Structure formats: structure tokens, C-alpha cells
């Protein structure tokens, strides 16, 4: 049998890494063998790691309304560049995705332009509770902001229990952005005289995340996911609650694993995000937690804003950083820090596929042939010219990461090679 595509390299499985050839036909993995498979196209990636396609559960594609920051074409090309074959888009656009019509509209736009699979969260506010069930078939879950961030989505704690019971019949997860609004409001007033970029970290301190995580977890009991955990204490509290709630999961974003608030002196508002950067102790604890399988997902929180917007003063510059183009090269940095390829595979492919209930996330016969091939030893300096994101900058600009994604394959088709999206 001559397959459409055969890839040779080191397959990363849940427990092991083994050298093999992977035969793909009609977008499906058909056979995995040590030797002897031939294809119409053969990719020899002997020195590289073959991962199931990376799945990023947290991106902001900005459509509709903020197309000057990103759109489904540029954003999904940035994903393919970073080895990401499925993304989940957040609802906090200028016209928020808070009812069925708006989700369907976004889907239509995505289908026309996206080069990777795009799935959607439905947004929650106190005004749209009656809409949540109606959209359940079209969304993978619901997103709640318990404080204000980019966009105007906000849900007071008092509504959290009602939301959980309203969506419980759908068995879809509810993901929370956790920072404490009362504390942030108070700090804003207190620190109004400061104009240095680090003031953002003091307005939204570690305690504000800790309070919000504690509050949300005390109010919920089922499929809850905590977005972009940034603090040591936050991760500990989640660990404690995981003992009682086996359905509880959490994400961490690359930026919180790599940078600390000290880096803001150099990169200014280009490192401004919510939750903000924290201390070295927090950063180290997240990395340690990741190595001990305490973090379920590596989610980019790709949140593009333009250079002009970021050059504003600290009070008016928007929060958020683009992180899709660099997702795969960042993963090679994690491996260099001692994270095993198997842990990467769990956080970036297997766990998110399970969370989304997809026939993906494993290099196994019968799975969809979404595959990310990573060369861990091919140092790559991040420069703005090589990015697909429309905003054309990266927090990692000027930094050399130890490796990169060499091929991204979606449904058995190569969509990125030689740093170039070919789809
Ligand atoms: O920094 C952030 N940016 N945090 C968020 O919660 C939203 C995001 C965005 O959409 O820009
Ligand atoms: Zn968030
Ligand atoms: Zn986000």
C-alpha cells in the first residue's frame, strides 16, 4: 500500500518515545510501523519529534470588530506557524459572542478563512443567561470573566452558581478568568499617580488572582477550567480543589512561564497583560508544577494588539500579547528546561483533545492526522518579519529559542514547512 503521506521520526506517546514511520491516508493515521511504509510523499524527520497536532484552548482572533489587530486568516496562519492545528476562540470581541446568532456568524467567517480548525467559547454576562442553553451545540464551553479585561465582559461572583447549574445539562465546561474586581478597583484609585509600566502589576496583584480563584472554586463543583494561572498560591489552591473535583482543570500561558515583572522595565507595555507578570518565585513554581503534571493545558492566550496601541501610556495601552507564532518554539524551551516530551504531549495535545472530546491528541491508528513535527535542536531567533500574526510583534522578539516546528500537518496535509504556511 502506498500511503498519501509517510512520516519518519520519533513518535511521542503518553509514556514513551519510539522511532517509527506513520502512514496517513485520507486525513487519518492508518498504520504505525518501525520500517517498511512508503508514501506518495515521505517526510524524513529522523532527528525530530512527532507530536499529535498541538491544540490551543485559548486564543483571541478578534473577529468581528477588531480586524485591525487580527483576523481568522492571519491568526490561524500564526497558529500553523507555531505547530497548532486546532484553536479555541474567546468571545470577548467588540460585539461579544454571547448568543447563537453571533456564534454562527463567527463560524461562517472562520470557515472561509481559517487554515487550522477553529472552535468557539460562548461568552457569559448577567444579561445573556437565557441564551446559554440555546448555543450549547455550537460552542465547546462557556467563558466567564469575573473582572473586566479587554472587551466589556464581566460577571459578578453572585451569578456563578446560577451559570453552572444553567449549563450543567450540556456537560460543557465553564472557563474562568480569575482576578478580583473589587481589589482592582480599589488599587486603581490608590495608584492613580503612578505612570511606570509596572504599576499594572500592582493594580492587579497576585492576591487578586488568589482571591478570585478561591471564590470561584468555592462556588462551583463540576467542569470548571481556570485560565492562565499566574501565581504559586493560585496553583496550590487549584491542586487542593482537584482532590475534591476531578473535573477541575487549569491552563498556564507561555508568558507567565518565561517572563517576570522585572522584564517590564525593558519591554514596557509589550508585556502588559491580564493577569500581569509576577515574581520569579511564581514563575518557578509554575514551571515546577508543569513538570509534576499539575497543569493540564499549555494555552497561549494569544491576544494581539497593535504596536501603536501598545506604545500608549500604561493606563491606556491594552492588555494582551500575541503568542501563537512562537507556541512550538516555546515548547522546545520548556524541553530544554527539563520538561519531558511526554508531558508536553499531554499538555499541548492529549489533554486538550480530551477536554474538547475530539478524535485527536494521540499518534494512533484511526486518529485524525493532525501532526506537529518539532526539531528541538535548531536554534531560532524570534524576529518580527517572520511572524504571521497581523500585529507583527512578539514578546519573544530578539530572543533565541532552542528549536522550532519544522512541519505542521492538518488532516494529513502539510500546512506549514520551512517556516512558511503553504495552505
Ligand atoms: O491580557 C489579556 N488580554 N487578558 C485578557 O483577559 C483578555 C486579553 C485580550 O483579549 O486582549
Ligand atoms: Zn483571560
Ligand atoms: Zn485570554
pLDDT over 70 percentage in the chain: 100
Q: Grid coordinates standing for 344?
A: 508536553
Instruction: Let me know: does 286 contact 295? Beta carbons within 8 Å.
Output: yes
Q: Which of 320, 321, 323, 389 to mutate to test the pocket of ligand 1 (most atoms within 8 A of CB)?
A: 320
Ligand 1 near 177 CB (within 6 A): yes
Q: Grid coordinates standing for 4?
A: 498519501
Ligand 1 near 334 CB (within 6 A): no
Across-strand partners of 49? 10, 374
Place 151 in a pLDDT band, splitting at 50, 70 and 90: confident
pLDDT averaged over every residue in the chain: 97
Q: Is the model's pTM score more than 0.75?
A: yes
Per-residue pLDDT tens for 310-360? 999 999 999 999 999 999 999 999 999 999 999 999 999 999 999 999 999
Instruction: Let me know: does 202 contact 183? Beta carbons within 8 Å.
Output: no
313 is an active site residue: no
Instruction: Let me know: does 171 contact 223? Beta carbons within 8 Å.
Output: yes
Q: Whose CA is nearest to atom 2 of ligand 1?
A: 320
- Please compute the mean of the pLDDT values over residues 86-103 and round it to a whole number: 97
Count of CB atoms situated within 10 Å of the CB of 308:
10
Name the maximum alpha-carbon separation found in the chain. Answer: 71
Q: Whose CA is nearest to atom 10 of ligand 1?
A: 150
User: Which string of DSSP letters, residue by residue, matches 7-76?
Assistant: EEEEEE-SS-EEEEEEEEETTEEEEEESS--EEEEEEEEEEEEEEE-EEEEEE---TTT-TTT--HHHHH
**Burial bucket for residue 340 (CB in 10 Å: 0-12, 13-18, 19+):** middle
C-alpha distances out from residue 386 to 78, 82, 255, 405, 420, Å: 10, 11, 19, 13, 9
How far does the centroid of ligand 3 lie from the alpha carbon of residue 119, in Å? Answer: 15
| Angle in degrees, CA 145, 314, 184, rounded to 5 | 40
Eight-state DSSP code of residue 318:
P
Instruction: Let me know: does 155 contact 124? Beta carbons within 8 Å.
Output: yes
Ligand 1 near 269 CB (within 6 A): no
Q: Which ligand is nearest to the CA of 148?
A: 1
Contacts of 1 (CB under 8 A, 6+ apart): 23, 25
Nearest C-alpha neighbor of 32 from the set 11, 46, 14, 1: 11
How far does the centroid of ligand 1 lie from the alpha carbon of residue 377, in Å? Answer: 32
Per-residue pLDDT tens for 107-118? 999 999 999 999
Locus of grid cell 535542536: 377
How far does the centroid of ligand 2 lie from the alpha carbon of residue 1, in Å? Answer: 48
Q: Whose CA is nearest to atom 3 of ligand 1?
A: 320
Count of CB atoms situated within 10 Å of the CB of 39:
19
Q: Give the active site residue among 56, 89, 296, 301.
A: 301
Indicate whether 1 pLDDT > 90: no
Indicate whether 423 pLDDT > 80: no
Indicate whether 149 pLDDT > 90: no
Strand order in the sheet with 28-33: 28-33, 17-25, 2-12, 38-52, 371-375, 404-410, 413-417, 420-421
Amino acid at each position: 500500500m502506498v500511503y498519501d503521506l509517510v512520516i519518519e521520526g520519533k513518535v511521542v506517546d503518553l509514556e514513551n518515545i519510539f522511532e517509527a514511520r506513520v502512514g496517513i491516508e485520507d486525513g487519518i493515521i492508518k498504520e504505525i510501523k518501525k520500517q517498511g511504509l512508503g508514501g506518495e510523499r515521505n517526510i524524513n524527520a529522523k532527528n525530530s519529534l512527532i507530536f499529535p497536532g498541538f491544540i490551543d484552548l485559548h486564543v483571541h482572533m478578534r473577529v468581528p470588530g477588531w480586524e485591525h489587530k487580527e483576523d481568522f486568516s492571519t491568526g490561524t496562519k500564526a497558529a500553523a506557524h507555531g505547530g497548532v492545528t486546532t484553536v479555541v476562540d474567546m468571545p470577548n470581541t467588540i460585539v461579544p459572542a454571547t448568543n447563537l446568532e453571533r456564534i454562527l456568524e463567527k463560524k461562517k467567517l472562520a470557515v472561509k478563512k481559517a487554515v487550522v480548525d477553529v472552535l468557539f467559547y460562548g461568552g457569559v454576562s448577567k444579561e445573556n443567561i437565557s441564551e446559554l442553553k440555546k448555543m450549547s451545540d455550537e460552542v465547546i464551553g462557556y467563558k466567564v470573566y469575573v473582572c473586566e479585561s479587554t472587551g466589556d465582559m464581566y460577571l459578578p461572583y453572585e451569578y456563578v452558581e446560577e451559570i453552572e447549574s444553567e449549563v450543567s445539562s450540556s456537560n460543557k465546561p465553564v472557563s474562568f478568568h480569575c482576578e478580583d474586581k473589587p481589589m482592582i478597583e480599589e488599587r486603581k484609585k490608590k495608584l492613580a499617580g503612578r505612570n511606570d509600566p509596572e504599576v499594572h502589576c500592582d493594580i492587579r496583584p497576585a492576591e487578586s488572582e488568589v482571591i478570585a480563584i478561591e471564590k470561584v472554586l468555592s462556588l462551583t463543583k463540576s467542569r470548571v477550567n481556570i485560565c492562565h494561572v499566574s501565581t504559586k498560591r493560585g496553583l496550590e489552591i487549584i491542586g487542593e480543589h482537584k482532590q475534591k473535583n476531578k473535573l477541575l482543570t487549569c491552563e498556564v500561558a507561555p508568558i507567565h512561564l518565561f517572563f517576570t515583572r522585572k522584564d517590564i522595565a525593558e519591554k514596557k507595555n509589550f508585556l502588559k497583560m491580564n493577569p500581569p507578570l509576577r515574581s520569579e518565585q511564581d514563575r518557578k513554581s509554575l514551571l515546577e508544577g508543569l513538570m509534576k503534571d499539575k497543569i493540564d493545558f499549555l494555552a497561549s492566550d494569544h491576544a494581539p494588539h497593535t504596536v501603536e496601541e501598545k506604545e500608549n501610556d500604561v493606563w491606556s495601552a491594552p492588555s494582551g500579547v500575541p503568542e501563537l507564532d512562537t507556541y512550538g518554539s516555546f515548547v522546545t524551551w520548556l524541553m530544554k528546561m527539563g520538561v519531558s516530551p511526554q508531558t508536553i504531549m499531554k499538555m499541548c495535545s492529549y489533554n486538550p483533545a480530551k477536554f474538547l472530546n475530539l478524535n485527536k491528541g494521540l499518534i494512533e491508528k484511526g486518529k485524525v492526522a493532525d501532526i506537529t513535527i518539532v526539531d528541538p535542536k535548531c536554534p531560532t531567533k524570534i524576529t518580527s518579519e517572520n511572524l504571521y500574526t497581523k500585529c507583527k510583534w512578539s514578546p519573544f522578539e530578539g530572543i533565541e529559542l532552542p528549536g522550532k516546528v519544522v512541519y505542521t500537518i492538518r488532516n494529513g496535509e502539510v500546512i506549514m514547512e520551512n517556516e512558511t504556511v503553504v495552505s
